[in-house]
Amino acid sequence: MLKGINTKILLAILAALTAIGGALTYQRQEAAKAATAAAKAAAILQQQQKEAEERKAEDEAFRKRVEANKKRHNSAAAHEGKTWQKYIP
């Protein structure tokens, strides 16, 4: 009878250790999945920041071109009135 009780206790201990081992394995897998997801999110965020910086630089270059074109084209218009004063039909 003592042998049967010892066997049952041993099986209960082995079942508990198996459950603990399974829980630890599951926890490690979930931690690895979370780390992978965090790394992907960081990579996506870094890519978005890079694209935003590139768009900002392109916008700034475009604004500078527009200002330069505006100055160049407006300079001719400033002298336009003088040509009509000298016009002889």
Q: Kindly tell me the sign of the dihedral angle through the C-alpha atoms of 48, 50, 52, 54.
A: negative
The rounded percent of the chain whose pLDDT value lies above 90 is 66
Name the residue with higher pLDDT: 70 or 14. 14
Q: Letter for the amino acid at 6? A: N
Q: Average pLDDT over the chain, rounded to whole?
A: 87
pLDDT-derived band at 89 (thresholds 50, 70, 90) equals low
Which pLDDT value is given to residue 3?
82
Q: What does the alpha-carbon distance between residue 52 and residue 67 come to, in Å, rounded to a whole number? A: 22
CA–CA dist 11, 8 (Å, integer): 5
Angle at 80 between CA 74 and CA 84, to 5 degrees: 170
